[in-house]
Amino acid sequence: MKLKTTFFQKAFLILLGIFLSLFLIEAGLRLGGFTLLAVQEHRNRDAIKKGGAYHILCLGESTTQGQWPPFLEAAINRSGAGIQFTVIDEGMAGTNTGLILSRVESYLNKYHPDMVVAMMGVNDHGAPHLPAETPSASKPELFVKSFKTYKLARLLFHMAFKTNRWALPPKNTHAQPPPQPARHEIVPDAENPGVKKLKKELELNPENGKAYFELGRLYWEQGKFQQAEMHTKKALQINPGNDETYLQLGWLYQEQGKFRQAEIYIKKALKLNPANNKEAYHELGWLYLKQRKFKQAEIYIKKALLVYHGIDHVSGAEGVYLQFGELYREQGKILTADIYTKRALKQINPGNSRARYRTEGLYRKRGQFHQAEESYYRKANLLYISGYNPLTANHYHALKTILDKRKIRLVCVQYPMHNVGPLKNIFAEQADDIVFVDNEKIFREAVKKEGYGAYFLDRIDADFGHCKRKGNKLLGENIARVILREVFHKKFQRNKAGAGGV
């Protein structure tokens, strides 16, 4: 006699199966993360036990952790330099330059390295990764978001449906450098003449609201948010009716992902001075766009565009058109995004390399690789003046300052396929004692010959991703080659077996 299963029993069994599956996935992800860190720590301890005379500490994100450092050690120890090198891998998946910097002192105390090799910045604000979520005060929501299963599901959804990041370019396609923010000169606080001047002004006149405002702006540009907030709020106390101060606080909170506070202050600025509303509308558009609140973003971007209507020559309208392009691109409306981005390029400023690169990226998403390369990339490349996120640049400066105090050599590595110029631009005239590793030419030639898929597993950015074994070997050996040449004046010796010694 067969037992009949009721609907509720079936539903219970299905839900139980789903729960057990999620539990096993969560346990597997947590165990995997713990195991990866344990293996990395074990390798680092073994490396120190070897007693190598020269210690090299590697810093970075998931493109470093367990990736190219072993190949670097194998390659550099083949050099015959008469030195035993020990390479320590302190890359960490999902981290950013701020977190890396916060751990540097402990790494230096632990390993006492002679050299630090840094390849970092791809996870910083503004990079093409998983968009930030709106901070939540809801305890149940925070509880759900704490699960690694949730984070994995969100990442997979974003990669599959929002970015098309799993699609590898055709074998003979040349990936190009992505758009980057304009370069900012970052000067350490102790040497910043602007900060010194403003502090002197405040000593003479403690009620100088403008000086507090400007000091807040300088600290913000350096990524020192706590000091920036403190001085900007002081300016607001002195002059509570200044809409620009409210707007600056809004920018500051938006940069930190504090979207609710940013919204309050930007709207307050708009209320205080409705006539001067271009920047406020523009910033509210970005604020909602970052939270993927597309309807609200569109409302404020349209309001910003109405202000600029008929005055396209005014600086700033170009940014509104680019903002529209970004809005529609994020919603997958590539044709509409293309129209607005090209309008920014054609009608506002034909020399804007960012707009040209954005257009090139839109063509790529539509699969028109030939048109992207021929029509826009070649022209944009001639105008390409790029830099790093100001926060990333500031963290690179801070890292160098820490290492200089301990007389530790810094090696800055550019990501595969990217030009090393923007990385050098961070340091400008202070770059004489820094070793820079350019991975653009060597990877482009390799990808052109064997195809993107031979060297990369996926796409983090428009033109590179996590390396396969072959890519990590190429990366590690190139870093070894540059270090040997620039620091030890030795020639790199390639492994004849081609196995990389790992």
Query: Average pLDDT for residues 242-246, to the nearest whole number?
Result: 89
Whether residue 276 is contained in a domain is answered as no
Q: What is the 3-state secondary structure (H, E, C) of 458-499?
A: CCCCCCCCCECHHHHHHHHHHHHHHHHHHCCCCCCCCCCCCC
Whether residue 48 is contained in a domain is answered as yes
Domain count, the chain: 1
Query: For residues 139 and 446, which has the higher predicted lDDT (pLDDT)?
Result: 446
Whether residue 374 is contained in a domain is answered as no
Residue with tokens 């100088």: 208
Q: What is the pLDDT of residues 342-395, one digit of tens each?
A: 776 665 444 444 444 445 454 554 555 444 444 444 433 333 334 566 678 888
Whether residue 200 is contained in a domain is answered as no
| pLDDT at residue 350 in the model | 46
Query: Average pLDDT for residues 402-406, to the nearest whole number?
Result: 92
Residue 407 pLDDT exceeds 70: yes
| pLDDT at residue 46 in the model | 65
CB 373 within 8 A of CB 190: no
| pLDDT at residue 8 in the model | 81
Q: What is the pLDDT of residues 279-301, one digit of tens each?
A: 788 888 888 887 888 899 899 88
| pLDDT at residue 406 in the model | 93
| pLDDT at residue 347 in the model | 52
**Banded model confidence at residue 27, pLDDT cuts 50, 70, 90:** confident
What percent of the chain shows pLDDT beyond 70?
67
Whether residue 469 is contained in a domain is answered as yes
Whether residue 272 is contained in a domain is answered as no
**Banded model confidence at residue 495, pLDDT cuts 50, 70, 90:** low
* Structural domain that includes position 426: 22-172+396-486
Query: Average pLDDT for residues 238-263, to the nearest whole number?
Result: 87
Residue 498 pLDDT exceeds 80: no
- Alpha carbon dihedral 177, 180, 185, 190, in 10-degree steps, equals -100
Residue with tokens 């490349």: 381
| pLDDT at residue 51 in the model | 61
**Nearest residue to 229 via CA among 215, 239, 210, 243:** 215
Token readout for 498 is 């081609």
Q: How many helices (H) and strands (E) does the chain have?
A: 21, 5
| pLDDT at residue 3 in the model | 62
Overall pTM surpassing 0.85 (yes/no): no
Q: Report the chain's mean pLDDT, rounded to a whole number.
A: 76
| pLDDT at residue 309 in the model | 61
| pLDDT at residue 167 in the model | 45
Whether residue 168 is contained in a domain is answered as yes
**Banded model confidence at residue 222, pLDDT cuts 50, 70, 90:** low
DSSP string computed for 113-156: -SEEEEE--TTSTTSSSSPPPPP---HHHHHHHTSHHHHHHHHH
Give the domain CATH number at 146. Answer: 3.40.50.1110
Element spanning 98, H or E: helix 97-111
Whether residue 256 is contained in a domain is answered as no
Of 240-244, 323-327, 381-385, 460-464, give the lowest mean pLDDT range: 381-385
